[in-house]
Amino acid sequence: MPELPEVEVVRRGIADWVVGRTVAQVQVLHPRATRAHILGERDFCDRLAGRTIAEVNRRGKFMWLVLDDESAVVIHLGMSGQVLVQPADAAPEKHLRIRATFTDGQRAMHFVDQRTFGGMRIDELVPDASGILVPESVAHIAPDPLDDKFDLPAVSAAISLKDTEIKRILLDQNMLSGIGNIYADEALWLSQIHGATRASALTLEQIQALIVHATKVMAAALDQGGTSFDSLYVNVNGESGYFSRDLNAYGREKEPCHRCGTPMVRERFMNRSSFSCPTCQPLPAGK
Q: Which is nearer to Zn ion, 261 or 286 (CB)?
A: 261
Residues forming contacts to Zn ion in the complex (CB under 5 A) are 257, 259-260, 262, 277, 279-280
11, 58, 61, 167: the catalytic one is 61
Give dist(CA 195, CA 182) in Å, integer: 12
The question of whether 41 is a catalytic residue gets the answer: no
3-class DSSP state of 195:
coil
We find the least distance from the C-beta atom of residue 278 to Zn ion, in angstroms, to be 8
Say if residues 279 and 262 touch (Cβ distance below 8 Å).
yes
Q: Which is nearer to Zn ion, 7 or 257 (CB)?
A: 257
Give dist(CA 179, CA 257) in Å, integer: 22
We find the least distance from the C-beta atom of residue 204 to Zn ion, in angstroms, to be 24
* Nearest CA-CA partner of 162 in 197, 199, 196, 188: 199
Q: Which is nearer to Zn ion, 114 or 279 (CB)?
A: 279
Residues in the chain: 287
The question of whether 272 is a catalytic residue gets the answer: yes
We find the least distance from the C-beta atom of residue 212 to Zn ion, in angstroms, to be 20
We find the least distance from the C-beta atom of residue 257 to Zn ion, in angstroms, to be 3
Beta-bridge partners for 223? none
Task: Give the C-alpha distances (Å, rounded to integers) separating 93 from 42, 70, 82, 108, 114.
Answer: 22, 31, 11, 12, 10
Q: Which is nearer to Zn ion, 34 or 206 (CB)?
A: 206
We find the least distance from the C-beta atom of residue 284 to Zn ion, in angstroms, to be 16
Beta-bridge partners for 230? 233
H or E stretch including 267?
Answer: strand 265-269
The question of whether 31 is a catalytic residue gets the answer: no
The question of whether 253 is a catalytic residue gets the answer: no
32, 216, 259, 272: the catalytic one is 272
The phi, psi pair for 162, rounded to 5°, reads -85, 135
Q: Which is nearer to Zn ion, 146 or 249 (CB)?
A: 249
Give dist(CA 181, CA 4) in Å, integer: 11
Residues taking part in catalysis: 2-3, 61, 272
